Amino acid sequence: MEQSIKIESMFDGRSHHGAFRQHLKYQWKWWLLARSLVCVALVIIGSYVAVNYSGRGKKMADFISVAFILMGSVGFIRPMIWQMWNERKLRKHPAYGTKITYTFGLEEIIMDGDSGKVVVPWCALTEVVATKTGVLFYQNKKDYLWIPSYDFKEGQLEEIVKLHRVD
């Protein structure tokens, strides 16, 4: 690549809505799968106890059935709550609702917008992950930057992932 890749992206709720889900799928895939299986098992066991043992004057059976169904249900809701908190955190960012210009060079990424200009060397990023809907730039396992794929032209996304691998 002789010259840098320059794109413009809007930093708002529409562009970042699916980002947290992509982050969860990439970083926590097996944990989410295991937790989902446990949640399904809790709901099934709670339902079984409710059908077979509840309502016969056994307070412990009533408590166990309600508790298991509740724990299983809350376990499924938890990632949605995390996503809502993440989107709330994004709305508080000073650059929220503005257009940011990204310049991807051989040595660094330059992010320029209304809230300021930041230069990030490729070595400061731990991973760059391309997904179907965009690209995740990881600073560490939990903190990431998201750019949706519709902001890139054909082939640019793959080229940017290669830039990180070169470093």
| One pLDDT digit (tens) per residue for the chain, 167 residues | 557 889 888 888 777 777 778 888 888 888 888 988 999 999 999 999 999 887 777 788 889 999 999 999 998 888 788 888 888 888 888 888 889 899 998 888 999 988 889 999 998 889 898 888 889 999 888 888 888 888 888 888 888 888 887 54
Measured between alpha carbons, how far is 24 from 79 in angstroms, rounded to an integer?
Answer: 8
- Angle between helix axes 19-27 and 29-53 (nearest 10 degrees) is 90
Mean pLDDT of the chain: 85
Q: For the whole model, what pTM was predicted?
A: 0.73
